[in-house]
Amino acid sequence: MLKWIFSSLLLLSFLSACVPTAPTGAPAPQPAPANWWNKAVFYEIFVRSFYDTDGNGIGDFNGITQKLDYIQSLGVNAIWLMPIHPSPSYHGYDVTDYYEVNPQYGTMDDFKNLVAEARKRDIRIIIDLVLNHTSNQHPWFKSANSDINSPYHDYYIWSETSKGGKWHAGNHGYYFGFFTEEMPDLNYNNPAVTSEMLKVTDFWLNNVGVDGFRVDAVKNILEEGNKLENTPSTHEWFKGFYTAYKTQKPQAYTIGEVSGAGSFIVKSYTGNQLDQIFSFEMAKGILNSAKGNSNSGITSALKFALQDVPDFNFATFLTNHDQPRTMSVLNGDVDKAKLASFLMLTSPGTPFIYYGEEIGMQGQKPDEDLRLPMQWSNANNAGFTTGTPWRAPNKDYTTINTSSQIDDPNSLLSHYRALIQIRKEHSALQSGNAILLETSNPAVFALLRISGTERILVLVNLGKTPISDYKLSLGETALADGTFTPLSIFGSAQAQPLEIKSGEFSGYKPLNELPPYQTYLFNLK
């Protein structure tokens, strides 16, 4: 009964709070195709580290605007900006004002100009939305902590006594902060907090004109006793949140961060709570296969996805701003970096690329070194700033940079650009079905991507030696009987025809030998 009452109150709170306000000076909303994110390739940017235009050593909105041509040339058609709100920290995940932008990055007009210029290039922008907590410097918390009778006191979670490590001493008792004492958790058992945050989403979607949000720390929104993650109350809350933001802007997109999420967790949040969840399981599987010269990692991840999320409605990535960079995980091996990007960009799911990943930037913990300045050239400070950078770029910038790779057809950057373009041209690679093939060799990975009448064969030698001992087979296929001619759309190899009888095939060798680390895409006609 109590849970029913809570759910009813929460729903009423959402419905009363989700009526869109009239836009004030916002760009006119443009019609959008259904589920545009299924055809998107995202680029994750840490504004502070991307490009500095005023020489203060900190990246800014105008820097991203100036680099939109580069972003467009990469082929991506959507951008995720890490936190852009005012914050006492360098990373921004402790917000002090949800309605403003970090003055170190520029003005609101600068940001709106970025949105407008991106839109001219058919590039969408989503921003980080930190729902779980605020900064302890946020006016709400300052008021709550200074006066127990403050209207904001119940915006946070309090206890008269300490309950352990995640409880922190305040002026009038102890407050809950899951991550740090600088990040007090918001109290979503209070409908007023939900109403406040829905005003925030409406402001950014309709007044400013962003296309959606990457929602931080999804699994931590509501605690239930000692259960602190992925609680039933959290799922109920997001059901109301989904209804609310879709009412505010029907084509708004949300991608949720549930750290470590596998396909089962992905399934539990998508459909009526968030549009997509990052699949950490797919990321790990792809990297393990690229690094370990074996198909077991990606095969396992895809099998779990086929079982739990057969529509593949999730987001893929290699690494993000919280993890060692892809090239560091792969020990600087460009061939393996090409394998990893190939597996991601030909697998189902919406791909996200972390800035600098496309040129092989490296980075290990601490977190600041995972988020170093973008390496544009071999000029001073990697061409990132004319001043003193907020943090020095990696020392390898003299050889690893966009300028040295952009005209090199064999570079990692050119590899990314070619694959992204092919993905955009073929619906089977964007949102098609995926069928795993048996390869009879652990170093060979093969996948069929199918959409309508389009059939694409993905074939990879993950190993460091040539392979001739392999055979592709499938006992149950979506292809009709007949002879299919493989037309190369990535690489120049000429493959043998594929014969299908009684809906099956076995012992198929498209190529007599697969060179080391070689990747292929064939359109089966």
Catalytic residues: 216, 257
Q: Name the residue type at position 232.
A: P
Q: What is the DSSP letter of 224?
A: B
What gap in Å lies between CA 283 and CA 357, rounded to an integer?
Answer: 14
Which residue from 328, 259, 237, 278 is spatially nearest to 3, judged by alpha carbons?
Answer: 237
Q: Name the residue type at position 223.
A: E
CA dihedral 32, 35, 39, 45 (to 10 degrees): 80
Q: Which residue has the tokens 């929460």?
A: 10
Asked whether the beta carbons of 237 and 277 are under 8 A apart, the reply is: no
Asked whether the beta carbons of 151 and 179 are under 8 A apart, the reply is: no
Cβ neighbours, 10 Å, residue 25: 8
**203 CB contacts (<8 Å, ≥6 apart)?**
21, 98, 99
What gap in Å lies between CA 45 and CA 248, rounded to an integer?
Answer: 26
Specify burial of residue 31 (Cβ count, 10 A radius: 0-12, 13-18, 19+): exposed
What gap in Å lies between CA 244 and CA 246, rounded to an integer?
Answer: 5
Which residue pairs from 249-252 have beta carbons closer than 8 angstroms and sit at least 24 positions apart in sequence?
249/20, 249/29, 249/205, 249/206, 251/32, 251/34, 251/36, 251/211, 252/201, 252/205, 252/211, 252/212, 252/213
How far is CA 397 from each of CA 168, 355, 429, rounded to the nearest angstrom? Answer: 42, 14, 33
Q: What one-character-per-residue DSSP string does 385-414 give?
A: -SS--SSPPPGGGGTSSHHHHTT-TTSHHH
Q: Which residue has the tokens 């006016």?
A: 139
Specify burial of residue 221 (Cβ count, 10 A radius: 0-12, 13-18, 19+): buried
CA dihedral 433, 280, 321, 432 (to 10 degrees): 0
Tokens, residue 363: 């980075």
